[in-house]
Chain A
Amino acid sequence: MITCRELVELLLDFIAGELLPECRNAAEQHLKDCPQCLAYLEGYHRIVQLSRHLPAEPMPPHLVRRLQTMLQENCNDQLSGNREGTVIDM
């Protein structure tokens, strides 16, 4: 049976589903028998879930204005008459 430390070293591949069957079986067996590691896995996985759903912080209004001005000036220079905007070719 693998140790708790060895189990923790497998967690990245374990939650990504990238462990070889032998290692996966050993990890699952360890987790069945070890409530400490099960709780550890829970925290490890929770962090990943929560990080993936972090909301974006709003940009400072002065930065938004600065970027818009910069783009507008560039548009005016480069598009020379085409003031409808930038074409993103879909």
Chain B
Amino acid sequence: LWQIDFFKDLRQMGSMEDSTGRSIWGGTELASRIPPNEYERKVQERIGLLKYLTHSSAEPDSAMALIAAGSQTPPEAGSHTRLTPEEIVREYAPRVYNLARRMLGNAVDAEDVTQDVFLQVLRKLPTFRGESAFPTWLYRVTVNSALAYRRKRSVREGRRVQEPLDEFQEDGSHRGPIRHWTGGPLQQILDRETHLLIEDAIARLPEGYRDVYVLADVEGLPNAEIGEMLRLSIPAVKSRLHRARLEMRRTLAPHFEETAP
């Protein structure tokens, strides 16, 4: 039996188990042991997480919005979500695969990493005790696996980001003309050709910058979490992210800037 226990810390603060040992939602004993605000916050946090996990298309932002809304109904007491192998693959594997694909820059390597991640999930899940949320844990396993896979590859990429200094004159002004971007973001968000251009630009980023960019700007993880995963300080994460964005802008500008009059 694998149990991904999202409510461990709640249970530790008060009784969250019924007579059969199943976790239950809240309980008067728990509510009386911790301040009401703290209890409410934790419950809402888990509602958001639950919604996020049960809606694979939802972005983490959506989960945060659900948490902020604070009007969701808690699941019934003693409820469990029973997932078949098909459902586990459908819910979680695309996230693992796409994160690995973007970090490694190709689909074939991502297949190997996805398989490795699921082997690790099978091996380690029985010992998973909810120290972090399951998606966070899965992200960590995926990032570690992708980094290990890359270390095994003997060929290192020699790409570097261009120094921002190169884009400016000595007096600090822009070296060349900067034009506005065509179209609107909403239209481009839906455009397949735009997706391909951005994916290609991400794949061209140097590895160290690409990792941070994918985790921050594609996956939407906070800088502190990225720092922990990649063993970087927060200033180092921010520096790499900024350089990666400048490089992305430079690569994509010729495609999106208005043409010269």
Given contacts A59-B97, A87-B82, contact A11 B242 (CB under 8 A): yes
Bits for A78-90, please: 1 = Cβ < 8 Å to B, else 0. 1100101111111
Number of interface residues of A (CB under 8 A): 51
Please tell me if B241 contacts chain A, counting CB pairs below 8 Å: yes
Give complex CA distance A3, B6 in Å: 49
Give complex CA distance A3, B195 in Å: 33
Give every chain A residue within 8 A of B194 (Cβ-Cβ). 50
Taking a contact as CB atoms under 8 Å apart, the answer to whether B4 and A39 are in contact is no
Please tell me if B41 contacts chain A, counting CB pairs below 8 Å: no
Give every chain A residue within 8 A of B114 (Cβ-Cβ). 59, 63, 67
Please tell me if A53 contacts chain B, counting CB pairs below 8 Å: yes
Please tell me if A48 contacts chain B, counting CB pairs below 8 Å: yes
Q: Report A10 CB to chain B, min CB distance, Å.
A: 10
Q: Report A65 CB to chain B, min CB distance, Å.
A: 9
Taking a contact as CB atoms under 8 Å apart, the answer to whether B93 and A59 are in contact is yes
Give every chain A residue within 8 A of B134 (Cβ-Cβ). 88
Give every chain B residue within 8 A of A60 (Cβ-Cβ). 107, 111
Give complex CA distance A89, B46 in Å: 12
Give every chain B residue within 8 A of A66 (Cβ-Cβ). 115
A49 in complex: contacting residue of B87, B165, B189, B246, CB < 8 Å: B189
A37 in complex: contacting residue of B164, B178, B213, CB < 8 Å: B178
Taking a contact as CB atoms under 8 Å apart, the answer to whether A64 and B246 are in contact is no
Taking a contact as CB atoms under 8 Å apart, the answer to whether B178 and A12 are in contact is no
Instruction: Pick from B29-37, B136-144, B166-174 the stretch touching chain A.
Output: B166-174
Taking a contact as CB atoms under 8 Å apart, the answer to whether A42 and B180 are in contact is yes
- The residue on A at minimum CB distance from B2 is A86
A3 in complex: contacting residue of B93, B173, B248, CB < 8 Å: B173
Q: Give 24 CB contacts A-B under 8 Å.
A: A3-B171, A3-B173, A4-B172, A5-B167, A12-B242, A36-B177, A44-B245, A47-B248, A50-B188, A50-B189, A60-B111, A63-B93, A68-B85, A68-B89, A70-B118, A71-B89, A71-B118, A78-B2, A79-B1, A86-B82, A86-B88, A87-B80, A89-B3, A90-B50
Which B residues fall within an 8 A CB radius of A? 1-7, 22-23, 50, 53, 59, 61, 75, 79-89, 93-95, 97-98, 101, 107, 111, 114-115, 118-119, 122, 134, 164-165, 167-168, 171-174, 177-181, 185, 188-189, 194-195, 198-199, 202, 213, 217-218, 220, 238, 241-242, 245-246, 248-249, 252-253, 256-257
